[in-house]
Structure 1
């Protein structure tokens, strides 16, 4: 039987959440007519999604639809209950949340985490922002069917729900999962059944999910789908579990954009970074080997603790930039030959990491010369190109060679906005079902 039940207010929302769950290797069924499907049909799926088509109807009708479906699908085996809501807070938020709480019982509470980071929907200070604008200043405020004229998500729930609502702000998340778990329990003890939580990044959603698990509260996840997927990932083992995969980002570009993009990645996702002392790659063989070994060993020592590891040239900071002329004179060679020595050093580090740890299945490279050197060291015949992640960032897989099938995204160092590398890594995670 399904271990995740998602009740959505429309079909596209149900399917969008189902896709997020499918990316993590769960089997997900969207049920559109309970009269045409027997519950035994659902026994082989991990997640069932049911759209009630209730976003624009009277709140009482929405309540009844959600209550009836929840009663049909609830089961002792379910580990995650979800009320999928619109990513811009349209519809019958309060009455539909109430319906699930009433159906599941008085020991359940709703945890509302309505952000969708990759779509520019975030909640900070109790306000929902859409691509940086307060919700009430967007076109949603003049939506012809279900306009939303308030940006404060907790206020929206309080206006629509019969239950007491508490707001949990970003300052509360800064103290960690145990503090957050205790705060959630405190609000529940004070009679609150709907907890509306600030959330900006995937890291925030992971923290909220960890706090929910730590608190041992029985919850309904109320969100546009990302929090539901996050909670499911932590509580449900897919029926066909995919082997664990890790990602390595190798960045040798010294363009100012690269520094901004890497810093954005480090702030947005849990990563372990090791800086390469690039000058050491240009010294004698002993010093070069010592630096390659140091970086490789540091990554391998910590990689089990992080899904994403990054190897970054220290040249992203201007004070570490190299004057190539002394090395050109020392080795009597061209600038291209000097930079190739650096690139091949990065490639050797990458190769040794992948050789030593088979769980590395995803690779991000920044800088065309670095990518060429990595492909040469991996002895790949080329790349099977599959998609454009964003302009000038290509996704594909290695063809032939020792690491055939490894997923790779390549991007020019100067390309993209500050979130470009973060978006590329998130894309790789989705492809690897992390």
Structure 2
């Protein structure tokens, strides 16, 4: 029964390229026209996999690959996922899977309900992994978010530097300004604003690993008078700030909390303040997070459509001064991360195990291809209570080599 159901599913989905599947009973089926796409072969080694794939393809394929119950010929995960994602985006789900997709969509608010205690657990799941792991694939500054490639041949380090200064330009930082960095990571953005722009930075994170490293970096850089990092949820921050920056954190807020998030930003900003929210988003309508990603990578995470983010912004009486959409920049970033990860795979294996290596590789490749093939993008929302807080054109961003970057002399 389930072999036939999976055969129908794959017959519906795989139209371009070629997918050969060896089923658990040894039978081999082929799907697609063999034209205009990858030619990939996979094998299913578990009799339960056909049923699991029909009921939840994302979860079953991801888990199957992690556990070795699904193998890809020549370990061509890139080719396999390119074929799968491009065909699914083109064909959509067959009728017998649509009720399951509707149910997943309806459950998304529960999956994304992130009160403070749950947010701490979710953050620890991903960001409190061994610090050595992130050193093996990120840039030297540990920027774990989309880089900005002014040219395709830029190094990852250079593209991450440009990203930080592009954001600083949008914030219109002046020396002495009080800046809040919401979801500060390992401190790179905040340290740049403090050292290069003379800002007084307060960063917040829920990750103990990130908090400890960020404060060590403050001491090492001699910036104790300009930057500090707190272990704190955004809902607990008080005071007033001239500028607020949030890079790669909004994806962890959760749809039920969007209005509270933007309300908090509005309350924390001075009347002429400026906020810059940088987040992964979807170019299409609202959707739901892959259950595999929710379970193994980012519990409680969700990448919003523009309509979902803008609805919450509009409710909180802030002017949207600018919205910028970055398309393939994150795909390029993820390719750099994947290549660095694979170059250090033996070191990753020494930290964890083969299953972890397969999981992380699958995550990096699937993420890259979602940007390349399935309309995932990055949004930058520039917000203010005052419609005159920001220049009326973007010209100010593109002056000089650092996009408006003016380093403050020590």
Q: What TM-score, normalized by structure 1, do the two folds share? A: 0.28
Hey, which of these two has a bigger chunk of strand by percent? 1
Bigger RCO of structures 1 and 2 (CA < 8 A, at least 6 apart): 2
- Tell me the TM-score normalized by structure 2: 0.30
Larger radius of gyration: 1
